[in-house]
Amino acid sequence: MIDEIAKQYEGRIPVPLIEEVKREAKEVKLTKAQAEAVFAKLEEKYKYAKIQAGEAIGIVTAESFGEPGTQMTLRTFHFAGVAEVNVTLGLPRLIEIFDARKEPSTPLMIIYLKKPFNKDEKSLEKIIAQIKEIRVHEVLSEISINLLKLHVEYVLNKKRMKELGIPEDSAIKAIKDALKTIDLTEKDGRYTATPKSKDGGLPALYTLKERIKEVKVNGIEGIQEVIPKMENNEIMLLASGSNLKDVFKIEEVDFTRTITNNIFEVAKNLGIEAARQTIIAEASKVIQEQGLDIDIRHIMFISDLMTSKGEIKGITRSGITEEKESVLARASFETPIRHLINASLIGEVDMLNSVVENVMINQPIPLGTGLPSLITKLAKESKK
Amino acid sequence: MEMIFKKVGSISFSLLSPQQIKKMAHVKMVTPELYDKEGYPVEGGLMDTRLGVIDPGLRCRTCNGKLKECPGHFGYIELGRPVLHISYIKAIYTFLQTTCKECSRILLDDENILKYQSKIDKLKSIGKEDLIPKISKLARAGAKNVKKCPHCKAKLTPAKFEKPSTFMEDTKRITPIEILERFEKITDQDCLLIGVDPRYARPEWMVMGVFPIPPVTMRPSITLETGERAEDDLTHKLSDIVRINQRLFENINAGAPEIIVEDLWDLLQYHITTFFNNDIAQVPPARHRSGQPLKTITERIKSKEGRFRHNLAGKRVNYAARTVISPDPKIELNEVGVPTLIAMELTVPERVTEWNIEWLKTFIKNGPKNYPGANYVLDGLKKKKITAETQEVILTELCPGQIVERHLVDGDISIFNRQPSLHRMSIMCHKIRVLPGKSFRLNPSVCNPYNADFDGDEMNLHIPQTEEARAEAEILMEVETQIMSPKHGLNVIGCIEDAVTGNYLLTDDRMEMSREEAIELLVSIGLEDSKKLNALKKKVTGKEVFSAVLPSDFNFVYDKVVIENGQLKTGQIDPKTIGEDNGTLLRDINRSYSEAECVDIFGKIFKLGIAYLQKRGFTITTSDADIPEEVREKAKNIIAEAITSVNDTIDQYEHGRLKNFSGKTVEETLELLVMQKLNETRNMVGKMISKTVSDTNNAIIMSKAGKGNILNLAQTSVLVGQQALRGKRIERGYKNRTLSLFREHDKSPEAKGFVRHSYKNGLNPVEFFFHAMTGRDSLMDTALRTPKSGYLYRRLANALQDLKVEYDGTVRDANKSIVQFAYGDDHIDVSRSENGTIDIKKIIDEVSRKTK
What DSSP line would sit under B468-506, residue for residue?
Answer: HHHHHIIIIIBGGGGSB-TTTSSBS----THHHHHHHHH
pLDDT at res. B664: 66
Q: Are residues B823 and B710 in the same domain?
A: no
Contacts of B835 in chain A (CB under 8 A): 293
The answer to whether the peptide bond before residue B420 is cis (omega within 30 degrees of 0) is yes
Last residue of a domain, one of B432, B455, B482: B482
pLDDT at res. A80: 44
Partner residues linked to B721 by β-bridges: B755
Cβ-defined contact of B819 to A351 (cutoff 8 Å): no
Cα diameter, chain B: 118
From CA B241, how far away is CA B267, in angstroms rounded?
A: 9
Last residue of a domain, one of B482, B510, B541: B482
pLDDT at res. B316: 92
**Does residue B274 lie in a domain region?**
no
CATH code (residue B579): 1.10.274.100
Contacts of B797 in chain A (CB under 8 A): 59, 62-63, 66
Among B487, B663, B818, whose Cβ lies nearest the Cβ of A67?
Answer: B487
Q: Are residues B438 and B508 in the same domain?
A: no
From CA A140, how far away is CA A143, in angstroms rounded?
A: 7
Q: Which of B844, B845, B852 to mutate to test the interface with A (most CBs of A within 10 A)?
A: B844
From CA B532, how far away is CA B549, in angstroms rounded?
A: 9
Contacts of A237 in chain B (CB under 8 A): none
Question: Hey, which bits of B705-759 come out as E strands?
Answer: 721-722, 724-725, 728-729, 754-755
What are the φ and ψ backbone dihedral angles of A100, each rounded to 5 degrees?
55, 55
Q: Are residues B360 and B468 in the same domain?
A: yes
Please name the residue of chain B whose CA is at the shortest distance from the CA of residue A300: B824
b/e for B733-768, b at 16 or more Cβ within 10 A?
Answer: eeeebbeeebeeeebebbbbbbbbebbeeebeebbe
For the packed helices A57-69 and B765-800, what is the interaxial angle rounded to 10 degrees?
170
Is the distance from CB of B796 to CB of A68 less than 8 angstroms? no
Contacts of B828 in chain A (CB under 8 A): 14, 46, 49-51, 297
Angle at CA B684, nearest 5°, toward B682 and B687? 110
pLDDT at res. A74: 63
Surface of A (316-345) touching B: CB under 8 A: 316-317, 319-321, 324-329, 331-333, 335-337, 340-341, 343-345
**Does residue B367 lie in a domain region?**
yes
Cβ-defined contact of A346 to B851 (cutoff 8 Å): no
Distance from CA of A145 to the nearest CA of B (A): 30
Distance from CA of A304 to the nearest CA of B (A): 6
Contacts of B805 in chain A (CB under 8 A): 51-55, 57
Please name the residue of chain B whose CA is at the shortest distance from the CA of residue A302: B800
pLDDT at res. B669: 80
Most confident of A107-111, A266-270, B774-778: A266-270
Among B785, B818, B832, whose Cβ lies nearest the Cβ of A48?
Answer: B832
Q: Distances in Å between the alpha carbon of B626 and those of A132, B699, B701, B727? A: 56, 11, 15, 31
Q: Tell whether the model's pLDDT for residue A82 goes beyond 70.
A: no
pLDDT at res. B852: 63
Cβ-defined contact of A321 to B802 (cutoff 8 Å): no
Helix (H/G/I), strand (E/B), else coil: B813: coil
Least confident span in A299-303, A306-310, B693-697? B693-697
From CA B268, how far away is CA B81, in angstroms rounded?
A: 9
Please name the residue of chain B whose CA is at the shortest distance from the CA of residue A305: B819
How many distinct structural domains can be found in chain B? Answer: 4
CA-CA-CA-CA dihedral for B706, B710, B713, B715, to nearest 10:
-130
Decide if the complex's ipTM is over 0.95. no
Residues in chain B with pLDDT < 70? 1-4, 534, 661-664, 852
Is the distance from CB of A215 to CB of A224 less than 8 angstroms? no
Q: Are residues B707 and B846 in the same domain?
A: no
Q: Distances in Å between the alpha carbon of A273 and those of A306, A308, A309, B823? A: 11, 9, 11, 17
Contacts of B302 in chain A (CB under 8 A): 335-337
Distance from CA of A142 to the nearest CA of B (A): 23
Q: Are residues B505 and B478 in the same domain?
A: no
CATH code (residue B629): 1.10.132.30
Region A52-72: mean pLDDT is 89
b/e for B685-724, b at 16 or more Cβ within 10 A?
Answer: bbebbbeebeeebebbbbbbbbbeebbbbbbbbbbbbbbb
Q: Tell whether the model's pLDDT for residue A151 goes beyond 50.
A: yes
Is the distance from CB of B461 to CB of B448 less than 8 angstroms? no
Surface of A (202-241) touching B: CB under 8 A: 225, 227-228
From CA B76, how far away is CA B765, in angstroms rounded?
A: 75
Range of the domain at B348: 320-482
Helix (H/G/I), strand (E/B), else coil: B248: helix
**Does residue B246 lie in a domain region?**
no
**Does residue B202 lie in a domain region?**
no
Q: Which of A44, A70, A125, A309 to mutate to test the interface with B (most CBs of B within 10 A)?
A: A70
Last residue of a domain, one of B455, B482, B509: B482
Cβ-defined contact of B12 to A349 (cutoff 8 Å): yes
pLDDT at res. A382: 62
**Does residue B583 lie in a domain region?**
yes
CATH code (residue B418): 2.40.40.20
What are the φ and ψ backbone dihedral angles of A194, each rounded to 5 degrees?
-115, 130
| Burial (CB count <10 Å: 0-12, 13-18, 19+), residue A202 | exposed
Residue A230, C-beta contacts closer than 8 angstroms, at least 6 positions apart:
none
Percent of chain A with pLDDT over 90: 16
Give residue A79's pLDDT band: very low, low, confident or very high (50, 70, 90).
very low
Residue type at position A193: A
**Does residue B125 lie in a domain region?**
no
Please name the residue of chain A whose CA is at the shortest distance from the CA of residue B92: A345
Q: Are residues B367 and B504 in the same domain?
A: no
Cβ-defined contact of A45 to B843 (cutoff 8 Å): yes
Q: Are residues B764 and B824 in the same domain?
A: no
Per-residue three-class SS string for B537-570? CCEEEHHHHHHCCCCCCCCEEECCEEEECCEEEE
Average pLDDT, chain A: 83
Q: Are residues B536 and B583 in the same domain?
A: yes
pLDDT at res. B681: 85
Q: Are residues B339 and B471 in the same domain?
A: yes
pLDDT at res. B451: 92
Please name the residue of chain B whose CA is at the shortest distance from the CA of residue A15: B826
* Domains of chain A, CATH where assigned: 2-49 (no CATH), 60-106+261-323 (1.10.1790), 134-218 (3.30.1360), 325-370 (1.10.150.390)
**Does residue B690 lie in a domain region?**
yes
From CA B162, how far away is CA B174, in angstroms rounded?
A: 11
| A186–chain B Cβ distance below 8 A for any pair | no
Contacts of A31 in chain B (CB under 8 A): 851
Q: Are residues B373 and B509 in the same domain?
A: no
What is the model's pTM? 0.87
Surface of A (86-115) touching B: CB under 8 A: 91, 94-95, 98
Contacts of A11 in chain B (CB under 8 A): none
Residue type at position A83: A
Cβ-defined contact of A294 to B488 (cutoff 8 Å): yes
Cβ-defined contact of B850 to A77 (cutoff 8 Å): no
Task: Give A257 or B660, the one with higher predicted confidence.
Answer: A257
Beta carbons within 10 angstroms of residue B787's beta carbon = 9
Q: Tell whether the model's pLDDT for residue A258 goes beyond 60.
A: yes
Model confidence pLDDT, tens digit, residues A201-237: 777 778 777 877 777 777 788 888 788 877 778 888 8
Q: Are residues B524 and B672 in the same domain?
A: no
Distance from CA of A323 to the nearest CA of B (A): 10
Among A45, A304, A359, whose Cβ lies nearest the Cβ of B838?
Answer: A45
pLDDT at res. B477: 93
**Helix residue ranges per DSSP H, B655-724:** 666-692, 698-704, 710-717
Cβ-defined contact of B422 to A63 (cutoff 8 Å): yes
Q: Are residues B517 and B389 in the same domain?
A: no
Distance from CA of B84 to the nearest CA of A (A): 14
**Cα of B325 vs its chain's centroid, Å:** 20
Distance from CA of A198 to the nearest CA of B (A): 35
pLDDT at res. A83: 47
Among B197, B308, B843, whose Cβ lies nearest the Cβ of A347?
Answer: B197
Residue type at position A232: N
Among B9, B313, B792, whose Cβ lies nearest the Cβ of A69?
Answer: B792
A·B CB contacts under 8 A: 338
Helix (H/G/I), strand (E/B), else coil: A87: strand
Is the distance from CB of B800 to CB of A61 less than 8 angstroms? yes
Among B133, B781, B799, whose Cβ lies nearest the Cβ of A320?
Answer: B799
Got the DSSP string for B12-26? E--PPPHHHHHHHEE
Helix (H/G/I), strand (E/B), else coil: B819: strand
Contacts of A319 in chain B (CB under 8 A): 799
Among A58, A69, A327, whose Cβ lies nearest the Cβ of B789?
Answer: A69
**Does residue B93 lie in a domain region?**
no
pLDDT at res. B61: 84
pLDDT at res. A81: 43
Distance from CA of B457 to the nearest CA of A (A): 18
From CA B634, how far away is CA B629, in angstroms rounded?
A: 9
Please name the residue of chain A whose CA is at the shortest distance from the CA of residue B421: A67
Q: Distances in Å between the alpha carbon of B340 and those of B408, B552, B840? A: 9, 40, 50
CA-nearest of B199, B185, B209, B181 to B21 is B209
Q: Which of B1, B10, B13, B811 to mutate to test the interface with A (most CBs of A within 10 A)?
A: B13
